[in-house]
């Protein structure tokens, strides 16, 4: 198991500290397998899990590209769309001469109009974010202006040499610790483990549709080249919460 696979297994294990998840599969097979559109070789999978209370579903993706010697993973832990509990996003990529990781919380409130939410739910990530930025072995992964407008300013997204990728676990665990702590908040803090709100659910649906859009993020076209358009679109359907 390489370091990207190890980090992914760690994230999947830790998010179950929040609650148990149950895999949706056919026997021992994953929810969906990927095949290269030209060679027909198997190049990855989707594993889908259902939550119980706070979590709605979890999407785990692996994509392998033999010609690039690439091994990439993604975990998206989606909370109930009508609650204020932010979603958890994680991905990591390993190549012979480069590697990357990204961890983030997807917000359920508009940052420009809800300062209390920002300060209580996102600002506690500042120390971990600043520490990652100060790590000389990490190079911050920039995004387009459009993606920056849609994502969390505390998004931790970095490239590094493969031998330094293991250091990312410090940042990953700091983000996970905070995300898990949101389930039981002290009096006076913004409560995110809330009952269903149609207003929050509508915002979440629109936000996810914007973030996970091939017209917004060219990454999805690159993924389609590796696994085919139908498989790419299945991932998008799952992460948008449309299935």
Tokens 């769309």 -> residue = 81
CATH number assigned to the domain comprising residue 214:
3.40.1500.20
Per the DSSP assignment, residues forming a β-bridge with 129 are none
Q: Is 28 exposed, middle or buried (0-12, 13-18, 19+ CB in 10 A)?
A: exposed
- Positions of E strands within 133-221: 139-140, 156-160
Distance from C-alpha of 32 to C-alpha of 112, rounded to nearest angstrom: 38
Coil vs helix vs strand at 222: helix
Q: Decide: 90 and 103 in contact? Cβ < 8 Å.
A: yes
pLDDT of residue 74: 98
Residue 29 token pair: 């097979």
pLDDT of residue 15: 97
Q: What is the pLDDT along the chain (243 residues), one digit of tens a residue?
A: 899 999 999 999 999 999 999 999 878 899 999 999 999 999 999 999 999 999 999 999 999 998 889 999 999 999 999 999 999 999 999 999 999 999 999 999 998 889 999 999 999 999 999 999 999 999 999 888 888 889 999 999 999 999 999 999 999 999 999 999 999 988 788 999 988 899 999 999 999 999 999 999 999 999 999 999 999 999 999 999 987
How is residue 20 annotated by DSSP? -
Tokens 């997807």 -> residue = 106
Coil vs helix vs strand at 103: strand
pTM of the entire structure?
A: 0.96
Q: How many residues does the chain have?
A: 243
pLDDT of residue 88: 98
Q: What is the number of structural domains in the chain?
A: 1
Distance from C-alpha of 209 to C-alpha of 187, rounded to nearest angstrom: 33
pLDDT of residue 177: 98
How is residue 119 annotated by DSSP? I
pLDDT of residue 192: 94
Distance from C-alpha of 44 to C-alpha of 46, rounded to nearest angstrom: 7
pLDDT of residue 27: 81
The residue range of the domain holding 51 is: 3-240
Distance from C-alpha of 195 to C-alpha of 40, rounded to nearest angstrom: 45
Count, in order, helices (H) and strands (E) of the chain: 8, 9
């Amino acid at each position: 198991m390489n370091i990207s696979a190890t980090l992914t297994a760690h994230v999947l294990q830790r998010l179950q500290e929040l609650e148990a998840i149950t895999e949706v599969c056919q026997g021992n097979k994953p929810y969906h397998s990927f095949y290269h559109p030209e060679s027909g070789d198997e190049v990855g999978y989707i594993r889908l899990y259902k939550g119980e209370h706070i979590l709605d579903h979890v999407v785990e993706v692996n994509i392998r590209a033999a010609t690039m010697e690439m091994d990439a993973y993604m975990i998206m832990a989606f909370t109930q769309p009508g609650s204020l509990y932010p979603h958890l996003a994680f991905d990591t990529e390993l190549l012979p001469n480069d590697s990357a990781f990204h961890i983030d919380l997807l917000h359920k409130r508009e940052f420009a109009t809800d300062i209390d939410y920002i300060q209580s739910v996102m600002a506690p990530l500042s120390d971990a974010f600043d520490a990652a930025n100060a790590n000389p072995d990490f190079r911050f992964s920039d995004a387009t202006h459009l993606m920056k407008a849609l994502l969390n300013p505390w998004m931790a997204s970095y490239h590094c040499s493969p031998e330094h990728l293991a250091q990312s676990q410090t940042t990953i665990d700091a983000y996970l610790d905070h995300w898990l702590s949101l389930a039981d908040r002290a009096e006076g803090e913004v409560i995110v483990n809330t009952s269903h709100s149609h207003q929050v659910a509508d915002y979440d649906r629109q936000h996810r549709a914007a973030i996970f859009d091939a017209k917004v993020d060219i990454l999805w076209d690159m993924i389609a080249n590796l696994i085919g358009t139908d498989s790419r679109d299945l991932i998008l359907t799952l992460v948008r919460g449309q299935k």
